[in-house]
A and B are shown apart, each in its own frame.
Chain A
Amino acid sequence: MAHFIDRRLNSKGKSTVNRQRFIRRYKQQIKEAVSDSISKRSVTDVDSGEEVSIPTRDISEPVFHTGKGGRREQVHPGNDQFTTGDRIKRPPGGGGKGGAGEGDASNEGEGQDEFVFEISKDEYLDLLFEELELPNLQKNQLDKLVQYETYRAGYQTDGVPANLDIVRSLKGSLARRIALTSGKKKRLKALEAELAELKADKHDHQLRIIELEKEIAELKKAIARVPFIDTFDLRFRNYEKRPKPTSKAVMFCLMDVSGSMDQATKDIAKRFYILLYLFLTRTYKNVEVVYIRHHTQAKEVDEQEFFYSQETGGTIVSSALKLMDEIVRDRYDAKEWNIYAAQASDGDNWADDSPLCSDLLLQRILPAVRYYAYIEITERQHQSLWREYQKIAEVRDHFAIKHIQSVEDIYPVFRELFRKNVARPQGVA
């Protein structure tokens, strides 16, 4: 008599809405946890969600319940040593094991435990980059289009035979034939019925019959004259091309590895790169990363070497810019690639080199890139490089410079650089 139902194939995620509600409600706390977490990641490690923890007290749902104190009695099983009247030292942690047995008394608790849970990669990135956008994306997107994709766009009445849509054409033909012949057919039917009637009649209707037969013949001819298919029945599939923004992006990481950059400074730079990389993966399907480090000479290296190898020497920033320019001309055609660059330095540059950097940027690099961010990680005074860059930032809006002093500045600075719809303050840290 029971009725069995297999629900296993029902759609999953019935609780998705509730989960989203939860995240929506605790966005602020989750966001904090998220921005704390970015420092732990490797630059290209984005294929994972993030474990987020928020304090339980923030998400508790208060109800009336009894607190500690008063007089309680509780029955326990398994007596092995007690007799009536025994006195027991009060166990640490308060009176009477957990309130009043089952029920609502103690399920809330006032513990300070963290509520830990995992958010997916998408949720993580959504939160991390909420309200941020890639600057100049809209403006620059269309002038660099090279790829087109063809897509179906309805039908047209003219075209090459290969694009002829037979079904559609025949539909047209059928409709036309019905429209042109239905009146005549109806008449024909009526006449034929009359004819049959007259013929069946015993009386003589010879004259009328001849008349009718003539009319029927004419109608049949008229019907037959309507062509089965006509040129204006033909329908051809129409194709149009639309520009397709390229989904390839490359991110240049430029970093000063001269003696003045210590591991802590590099770490700060690294975190900034991670953010930028994550952010780019939101917009572009494939993001390549080119690491260029430099002291007096620039060199393209892999991630490990970029962040961890030790080197010393003076600083000539233009060497890195030159190398970047070469790599761009060589491998990343600005027409096909969306180029982003982030440069980190402690601002220490050979004074004569700074104007050269400025020239290189203005003439060669900036026209090719979508966005160029320079962060200066230092606690000292700004030097010539900063001042040169400041001038550029005033005239180029896809060039931004920021000053970072410590780890805590990174995320705010990043947010400031990519804030949505707000005129970015330029050249001021």
Chain B
Amino acid sequence: MAVSPPKRKRGVKPLSDGPDWSFELLEQYETEIDRVAKHYGLDIYPNQIEIITAEQMMDAYASVGMPINYSHWSYGKKFISTEQHYRRGQMGLAYEIVINSDPCISYLMEENTITMQALVMAHACYGHNSFFKGNYLFQTWTDASSIIDYLVFAKNYVAKCEQRYGITEVENILDSCHALMNYGVDRYKRPQKISIQEEKERQKERENYLQSQVNELWRTVPKGEQGKLPQERRFPQEPQENILYFIEKSAPLLEPWQRELVRIVRKVSQYFYPQKQTQVMNEGWACFWHYHILNHLYDEGKVTDRFIMEFLTSHTGVVLQPEYNSPYYSGINPYALGFNMFMDIKRICTDPTDEDKEWFPEFAGSDWLETVHFAMKNFKDESFISQFLSPRMMREFKFFAIEDDERENFLTVSAIHNESGYRNIREKLSAQYNLSNLEPNIQVYNADIRGDRSLTLRYIPQNSIPLAKSSKEVIKHLHRLWGFPVILEVDEDNNVPYVLERCPAE
């Protein structure tokens, strides 16, 4: 996969640097970017590039970046707040939105200059696009070719339900599902690929089948042999992490259409799951490639000095990491971390130091292009950081770890970027991107199908971090879906589980 560096050519006529863009110019740039991307071996879905206005961008924001989605008040709320912030100049809009679909749809904002459009095309249409196609999480969890079809199906289905059962009824179910959206994800089982037609047919079948199953499940006519039933056997036998899936399959009182709504929310949640886990990598990869592609074009003389200066200004702004005491600091910038890590991997390949050879014997000095592709394909943020964050990066970012224990009235610096702290910092930073650390571990523990039909969830705290008060509200939502009492227990180490919330309250 070795590539030759671009050769500075004389007499090449550079592309116009605008600043205004036209469709012809966009196509010229796209052709050039495409050529360079191929040169570097980026494998992408076909691109569908759409030019939209600021207002349309806000629309897209509101519906979680998807070109089409079912109607819900929370999207309206999002739209209103985005609009307010944008109007008052409190926030700028993203230059682009890109959708993990096949063909890969990217939105470019109308008001970008041609430089920005080129940057965005390289970033989204080649960077993110190749990430969507190559990364194992996306390959396993999402189906790019069917997502748009599925959303069309979902939108129509929700609209149909609203007509038939009333907006409020549908809204109630969707609210409850949204509250549990993060718990609608299969972390281990692979979802199936199906198209819209199949989805429709199967929806019907499922509707009938599920209902019959549920009735079966609740057939509790005593047969006088209750003694034989193993009382301590729980249902579900194993704790279930996918709460929405459990609800969809086992909630006794839901109507078929309500189950389908649960399923829709669950599916959408599943679709976004990989994106949550690969933010640093995804953005880093895209930045890495817009940087390389546009510099390559510049080295070839295809773009002007003015173009590259404007590009570098934007690029530096994007990958800037404010320090912890800066007023602009709001956590680690995923663009900065990701970009610098990929650049660092390239450096370790092309120009390894002794330290690199010691830390990364497997790839120090190897082919950089192959190595970055390998990294992109086979990792998520958590593992990417724990595998590839080099001591040099930690020194450059001047990372330090703070330990905050509520039992103490001070914070402790637990590790800094020195010889003894490298592994420690790397481990902690990696854990910071581990979704199972970020989202409370709550699972369906037991449904008392032979008793009062109450549903018990268990929260297993990590580092004694408690649940926020909002859990009370979430439990109410779950109660709406389940239809019988819902109990949330906390199962802390070495303690007998105790009840945290109960709905309805006793």
Which positions in A face B, CB cutoff 8 Å?
1-8, 10, 12-15, 17-25, 59-80, 82-91, 95-98, 100-105, 108, 110, 115-118
Q: Indicate if the CB atoms of A97 and B331 lie closer than 8 Å.
A: yes
Bound form: Cα–Cα A3–B44 in Å: 14
B36 at the A interface (CB under 8 A):
no
Note all chain A residues with C-beta closer than 8 A to B121: 2
Q: Indicate if the CB atoms of A73 and B428 lie closer than 8 Å.
A: yes
Nearest residue (CB) in B for A14 is B59
Specify the main secondary structure of chain A where it touches its partner: loop
Tell me how far the C-beta of A1 lies from the nearest C-beta in chain B, rounded to whole angstroms: 6
A-contact 0/1 string along B416-441, CB 8 Å cutoff = 11101100010011011101011110
Specify the main secondary structure of chain B where it touches its partner: mixed
CB proximity to A under 8 Å, residues B46-68: 46-53, 55-56, 58-59, 62-63
Note all chain B residues with C-beta closer than 8 A to A6: 23, 50-51
Note all chain B residues with C-beta closer than 8 A to A4: 23, 26-27, 30, 49-51
Note all chain B residues with C-beta closer than 8 A to A96: 402, 404, 411
Bound form: Cα–Cα A411–B325 in Å: 51
Note all chain B residues with C-beta closer than 8 A to A18: 62-63, 71-76, 79
- Cross-chain contact of A76 among B26, B46, B402 (Cβ < 8 A): B402
B410 at the A interface (CB under 8 A):
yes
Query: Which interface class (under 10, 10 to 19, 20 to 34, 35 or more) fits B?
Result: 35 or more
Report if A84-B84 is in contact (Cβ < 8 Å); known contacts: A21-B171, A61-B178, A71-B465. Answer: no
- Cross-chain contact of B465 among A2, A70, A77 (Cβ < 8 A): A70
- List 8 additional A-B contacts (Cβ < 8 Å) besides A17-B76, A79-B417, A87-B412: A3-B47, A5-B51, A12-B56, A18-B72, A71-B465, A72-B403, A84-B420, A103-B435
Contacting chain A: which of B1-9, B179-187, B252-260, B359-367? B179-187
Bound form: Cα–Cα A67–B471 in Å: 10
Contacting chain A: which of B216-224, B290-298, B392-400, B447-455? B392-400
A-contact 0/1 string along B61-102, CB 8 Å cutoff = 011000000011111110111011000000000000000000
Report if A17-B48 is in contact (Cβ < 8 Å); known contacts: A75-B428, A75-B432. Answer: no
Q: Indicate if the CB atoms of B414 and A82 lie closer than 8 Å.
A: no
- Cross-chain contact of A84 among B321, B415, B462 (Cβ < 8 A): B415
Which 6 pairs between the two chains have the least Cβ-Cβ distance? A78-B323, A70-B465, A22-B76, A18-B76, A62-B473, A67-B468
Q: Indicate if the CB atoms of A84 and B470 lie closer than 8 Å.
A: no
Nearest residue (CB) in B for A69 is B406
17 chain-A/chain-B pairs, Cβ below 8 angstroms: A2-B49, A3-B48, A12-B56, A18-B73, A18-B75, A63-B182, A69-B465, A73-B402, A75-B429, A76-B329, A78-B329, A82-B416, A91-B411, A96-B402, A100-B437, A102-B334, A108-B468
Tell me how far the C-beta of B183 lies from the nearest C-beta in chain A, rounded to whole angstroms: 7
Bound form: Cα–Cα A78–B398 in Å: 5
Bound form: Cα–Cα A101–B404 in Å: 13
Q: Indicate if the CB atoms of A70 and B76 lie closer than 8 Å.
A: no
Taking each of A15, A60, A77, which has the highest tally of chain B beta carbons within 10 Å of its own beta carbon?
Answer: A77
Note all chain A residues with C-beta closer than 8 A to B325: 78, 80
Q: Indicate if the CB atoms of B465 and A82 lie closer than 8 Å.
A: no
